[in-house]
């Protein structure tokens, strides 16, 4: 009897047949192809890339890239030995080489080896010297591979980059967590007056008056660093929590308070607040674009840089579009970042190690390429240990001397920063 219960065997057969197969079909296929009806577990263990390839050739088909990848995946998982066998060679076409390079890069990353644009270029040049016009394509290939890896948190960590840039630093809830993790917070704000040490003495923060609205397109990170007198390549993490007032869909801000920034669709509403709404949309889109470009620039050098961007879940910020190039359709400003995750503030402490208070629920979206932390959600009013789950209710807000209730409402809990930052600085 064929050992068709083996996931590995069924997987390999499925790849040969180029479609998923059931164990019963796998067995029929094997017998049809002239395999002995009895394959014992020991034989399967000895299957290698070469022997699978040989079997495929006897079956009159060529091992496809998909099969090679499947076999290498099995090898990685320790289910198959391929020792002494050659790595897949790319085909001699630009596309073939590109796919080969992508495969090679993937393998390096999965084995925890370094990868950079220079390394990919070198490998590419060896593989394919005569590709006409390949230079430009090569840059695209490098960028695509390395961006994907950076967004999946798979490049080399940079523990020496201890500067932590906080865009729109506001009430500086990053102060305590930075201190705890040995990071230096570099604060930057919209208007000069707001960039002040509201948590003086808590953190080694660098801050000089900065107006982020003055940053050129794609240069907000660079601009903030220049203004603060910090070299951009000393920054390893960027946090961005753009002011939410012009994006908030909540009635009490948008209409009841008479702010009237926008329609529920997010489109700016004509009137006295329109210019501010338009300015904020531009500045927020610039924040997202600048952070992405900073990560990609690091990735091209093979460096893993991190970001996390937060905004209330009902905010229309997530509908933000990037500025379209001529002849192109507008895309989401967040395209290229991993999809956002949701957390509830009531699950995170404020004032680490002090009052151990929890804020109101406030569901919040976080866009980040930092892996290895678990977003916490409120289990609901009945089960929540921390608060009455009445988001926005005054009695639930943190009361800290010197802070208005309005400020406390939007303050990101320190423990949330800590949980994300810890994952970023933790060695793999």
Whichever of 155 and 391 has its CB closer to Zn ion, that residue is 391
Whichever of 148 and 376 has its CB closer to Zn ion, that residue is 376
* β-sheet bridge partners, residue 363: 344
Interface of this chain with Zn ion, residues 408 to 427, rule: CB under 5 A: none
Whichever of 188 and 343 has its CB closer to Zn ion, that residue is 343
Could you say whether residue 299 binds Zn ion (CB under 5 A)? no
Stretch that binds Zn ion, among 36-44, 63-71, 209-217, 356-364 (CB under 5 A): 356-364
Least separation, in Å, of the C-beta of 377 and Zn ion?
9
Choosing from 378, 412, 416, 420, the residue that interacts with Zn ion (CB under 5 A) is 378
Could you say whether residue 146 binds Zn ion (CB under 5 A)? no
Could you say whether residue 4 binds Zn ion (CB under 5 A)? no
Joined together, the tokens standing for residue 305 give 């840089």
Sorted by sequence, the CB contacts under 8 Å of residue 295 that are 6+ apart come out as 147, 150, 151, 305, 306, 307, 369
Whichever of 259 and 378 has its CB closer to Zn ion, that residue is 378
Could you say whether residue 389 binds Zn ion (CB under 5 A)? yes
Least separation, in Å, of the C-beta of 384 and Zn ion?
3
Site size with Zn ion, rule: CB under 5 A: 5
Which of 89, 97, 88, 90 has its CA nearest to residue 133?
A: 97
Whichever of 178 and 410 has its CB closer to Zn ion, that residue is 410
Stretch that binds Zn ion, among 124-132, 330-338, 342-350, 364-372 (CB under 5 A): 342-350
Least separation, in Å, of the C-beta of 250 and Zn ion?
18
* β-sheet bridge partners, residue 188: 167
Whichever of 361 and 417 has its CB closer to Zn ion, that residue is 361
Least separation, in Å, of the C-beta of 362 and Zn ion?
10
Whichever of 15 and 419 has its CB closer to Zn ion, that residue is 419
Least separation, in Å, of the C-beta of 256 and Zn ion?
24
Choosing from 158, 346, 366, 421, the residue that interacts with Zn ion (CB under 5 A) is 346
Could you say whether residue 384 binds Zn ion (CB under 5 A)? yes
Least separation, in Å, of the C-beta of 316 and Zn ion?
24
Helices 117-127 & 94-110 angle (0-180, nearest 10): 130
Least separation, in Å, of the C-beta of 216 and Zn ion?
41
Whichever of 308 and 348 has its CB closer to Zn ion, that residue is 348
Least separation, in Å, of the C-beta of 386 and Zn ion?
5
Could you say whether residue 363 binds Zn ion (CB under 5 A)? no
Stretch that binds Zn ion, among 249-257, 272-280, 332-340, 341-349 (CB under 5 A): 341-349
Could you say whether residue 376 binds Zn ion (CB under 5 A)? no
Whichever of 106 and 396 has its CB closer to Zn ion, that residue is 396
Sorted by sequence, the CB contacts under 8 Å of residue 37 that are 6+ apart come out as 1, 2, 30, 31
Could you say whether residue 343 binds Zn ion (CB under 5 A)? no
Contact 288, 218 (CB under 8 A): no
Whichever of 85 and 384 has its CB closer to Zn ion, that residue is 384
Sorted by sequence, the CB contacts under 8 Å of residue 152 that are 6+ apart come out as 338, 369, 371
Stretch that binds Zn ion, among 36-44, 198-206, 334-342, 355-363 (CB under 5 A): 355-363
Least separation, in Å, of the C-beta of 354 and Zn ion?
20
Applying CB under 5 A, the residues found at the interface with Zn ion are 346, 361, 378, 384, 389
């Amino acid at each position: 009897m064929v050992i068709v219960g083996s996931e590995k065997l069924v997987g390999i057969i499925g790849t040969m047949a180029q479609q998923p197969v059931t164990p019963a079909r796998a067995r029929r296929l094997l017998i049809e192809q002239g395999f002995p009806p009895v394959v014992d577990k020991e034989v399967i263990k000895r299957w290698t890339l070469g022997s699978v390839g040989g079997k495929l050739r006897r079956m009159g088909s060529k091992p496809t890239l998909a099969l090679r990848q499947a076999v290498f995946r099995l090898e990685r998982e320790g289910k198959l030995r391929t020792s002494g066998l050659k790595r897949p060679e790319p085909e001699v076409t630009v596309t073939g080489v590109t796919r080969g390079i992508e495969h090679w890069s993937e393998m390096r990353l999965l084995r925890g080896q370094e990868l950079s644009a220079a390394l990919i270029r070198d490998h590419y040049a060896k593989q394919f010297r005569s590709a006409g016009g390949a230079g430009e394509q090569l840059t695209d290939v490098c960028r695509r591979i390395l961006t994907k890896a950076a967004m999946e948190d798979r490049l080399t960590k940079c523990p020496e980059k201890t500067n932590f840039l906080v865009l729109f630093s506001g009430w500086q809830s990053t102060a305590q967590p930075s201190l705890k993790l040995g990071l230096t917070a570099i604060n930057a704000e919209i208007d000069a007056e707001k960039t002040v040490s509201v948590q003086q003495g808590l953190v080694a923060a660098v801050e000089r008056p900065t107006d982020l609205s003055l940053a050129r397109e794609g240069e907000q990170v660079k601009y903030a660093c220049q203004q603060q007198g910090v070299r951009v390549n000393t920054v390893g993490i960027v946090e961005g929590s753009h002011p939410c007032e012009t994006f908030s869909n909540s009635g009490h801000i948008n209409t009841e308070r008479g702010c009237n920034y926008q329609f529920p669709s997010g489109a700016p509403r004509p009137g006295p607040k329109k210019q501010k709404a338009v300015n904020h949309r531009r500045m927020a889109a610039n924040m997202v674009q600048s952070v992405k470009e900073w990560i990609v620039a690091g990735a091209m050098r093979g460096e893993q840089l991190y970001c996390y961007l937060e905004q209330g879940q009902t905010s229309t910020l997530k509908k933000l579009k990037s500025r379209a190039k001529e002849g192109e359709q507008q895309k989401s400003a967040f395209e290229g970042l991993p999809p956002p995750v949701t957390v509830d503030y009531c699950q995170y402490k404020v004032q680490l190690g002090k009052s151990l208070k929890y804020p109101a629920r406030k569901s919040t979206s976080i866009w980040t390429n930092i892996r290895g932390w678990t977003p916490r959600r409120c289990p609901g009013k009945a089960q929540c240990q921390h608060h009455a789950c009445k988001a926005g209710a005054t009695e639930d807000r943190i009361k800290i001397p010197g802070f208005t209730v309005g400020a406390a409402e939007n303050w990101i809990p320190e423990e949330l920063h800590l949980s994300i930052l810890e994952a970023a600085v933790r060695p793999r």
